[in-house]
Amino acid sequence: MYFLALLLSAATSGAFVDTDAANERYLDCISLVDTDVKKGRFAAQQWASSGGGADAQHCLAVADITAGFPKLGALRLEQIAQRKDAGDDYVRARLLAQAADAWLQSDETIPAQDAINEAILLVPDSGELQLTAAKIHAAREEWHQVISSVTLAEQAGFVAAYSYVLRARALTELGDYETAAQDVVNALSLDPVNVDALVLRGELQQTGIVIEVYFESGDESE
């Protein structure tokens, strides 16, 4: 099953993929969703109703989220995670993390928290899951938990500009401006045009914290 290697991001199917394990029909389904969500969702519904299994259900969940129905997608992802053909605990945990992201898109932080908690119970050592947990904690303004989740993810080798911004925001809310400034630098080092990081940089500079970030131009002739 191809979707086992898929990491759903936001409302799209952007992912790292293992093409050797790819199911051609699943790839076609996701591609159609990306190209024309209405047609892709209809095709996914037909495939799922004709016994397409977990792959078809996952494509349909992606289509639901992409079409602007994240609650429906979240419920579907949670249902897939309970299927016998869903995969091992790591796959189930990832599906639940995807569901948590979808719940978060709907501003439903309680089911989002429930989903990511269940995922972490399945795979307690997953730093990847902590990135999703951090987003949920931030939405709930649980600042200490944000810091903890981002730090656990970082220790496991999972870093992203947005996660540094989340921790910087948490640190700012807790009054630790200097440490927050370092995370803003970390975020801008990964993504120099990250809007959230730039906004937070401006807020911190208003407190008297000067944040200088320098980037090499890459032009050795200068």
Element (H or E) spanning 43, and its range? helix 37-49
Q: How far apart are CA 86 and CA 63, in angstroms?
A: 18
Residues 6+ apart with CB under 8 A from 75: 99
Encode pLDDT of 164-201 as tens digits. Answer: 999 999 999 999 999 999 999 999 999 999 999 999 99
pLDDT at 9 over 90: no
Identity at 119, one-letter amino acid code = A
Residue 75 confidence (pLDDT) above 60:
yes
Q: Quick: pLDDT tens for 122-136.
A: 999 999 999 999 999
Q: What is the pTM of this model?
A: 0.83
Rounded to whole angstroms, how far apart are CA atoms 183 and 87? 36
Q: What are phi and psi of 9, to 5 degrees?
A: -120, 130
What pLDDT, on a 0 to 100 scale, did the predictor assign at position 27? 94
Total Cβ atoms within 10 A of residue 46: 13
User: How high is the pLDDT of residue 110?
Assistant: 97
Checking if the pLDDT of 81 tops 50, the result is: yes
Question: HSE (CB half, 13 Å, CA atoms) of 78?
Answer: 19
Contact 205, 211 (CB under 8 A): yes
Instruction: Find out whether 63 and 98 touch, Cβ atoms under 8 Å.
Output: no
List all residues 6 or more positions away from 170 whose beta carbon is below 8 Å from its beta carbon.
138, 143, 144, 146, 147, 150
